[in-house]
Amino acid sequence: MAVNETVIALLRSKPDMAKLTDDLPHVRAAAQAAVDAPDGIGTIASYFTEIPLPATGTWNTPGRGGAQADLVLTAPQGQVPLLFIEVDNCHEGAEELADKMGKYARFLRRKMKDIDGKERPMWRTRWTAPAASSGDKAHPPVLLVFNRIGDRNPNNTVPRLIDLTRRLWACQRQHGGHHHYDGKISIIATGLRNLREHGPAGPAFLRSGRDHMQPLREAIGNPRREAANARAWEETRRAQREYKAQVRRAAEEAGGEEVSRA
């Protein structure tokens, strides 16, 4: 049920006000609020449940050491080309969740020959995900959704989990303040209640290594590197414009000298 609720919270489907038959003011107000809220991500066809991620064996007969994603979201039209989702009812501790993240890492590092005979990461033989606009060569992100049913407090679990999985997500800081996440997994956490309230467009997601909540698309991205890349491209274009202007002035001056000599 928590997996289904996670899909509903991420999908944020809109009611059709024209088909609303209940005229009670509070019902209409709630429906209108849902219509006015930010859109969710993807369609119901974008979500797949209980997907094996084999570290050994095959897709159909996975061996030991792999993971099984509660949800896989593929919504390139929503700027989320591939997202693995784990829904935890707060029965597992940080150590158990860290072990699960290690299984994700083993799967994501695994390579195999594709149908064209070329070796690729195994996940790329099933899903298509373009390189990040920032230029990062990172693994697909993993979202942990905590549902407060069990006796584990996610406010205690998440900081411990961040420490235990540091080798999986820790990045390299670059000059200018941005980071490179090549070969790393973005591990992101949220609570189901926060997700219901804010949706994927709200500040409900904490990425390991960051100190503030973000919307989902920002949490799985690298906005600082994208900004640094934009500045670098603009500086390159400015230098090219200046060079062309210098060449043009030099050509005009050379032409003026020839006229004077004549």
pLDDT over threshold 80, residue 55: yes
Angle at the Cα of 147 from the Cα atoms of 142 and 153, rounded to 5 degrees: 95
Q: pLDDT value at position 154?
A: 95
pLDDT over threshold 60, residue 126: yes
Q: pLDDT value at position 11?
A: 93
Q: For residues 114-136, give the mean pLDDT.
A: 79
Residue type, 146: F
Q: Provide the 3-class DSSP secondary structure of residue 168.
A: helix
Q: What is the pTM of this model?
A: 0.77
Q: pLDDT value at position 162?
A: 96
**Using CA atoms, how far apart are residues 128 and 230, in angstroms rounded to an integer?**
25
Report residue 36 as tokens: 């006015």
Q: pLDDT value at position 28?
A: 67
Q: pLDDT value at position 134?
A: 46
Least confident span in 50-64, 121-135, 155-169, 217-231: 217-231
Q: For residues 60-69, give the mean pLDDT.
A: 93
Q: For residues 11-32, give the mean pLDDT.
A: 68
